[in-house]
Amino acid sequence: MADNPYTQTFEMQRAMIESGRTAIEASTSVTRSATSAFVGSTATTKSAQKSGVEFSRRAAHVVLDAFEQAGAGQGVADVRTALDEQYDAFDEFHDDAWTAFEDALGEYEESVEGLTDAQREAVLDALDAAVSASDDAEEAVEEAFEQIEIEEGA
Query: pLDDT at residue 25 above 50?
Result: yes
CB 135 within 8 A of CB 13: no
Q: What is the pLDDT of residues 90-139, one digit of tens each?
A: 999 999 999 999 999 999 999 999 999 999 999 999 999 999 998 998 89
For the chain, give every domain's residue range.
Answer: 7-149
Per-residue pLDDT at 10: 87
- Tell whether pTM > 0.75: no
Rounded to 5°, angle at Cα 87 from 85 and 91: 115
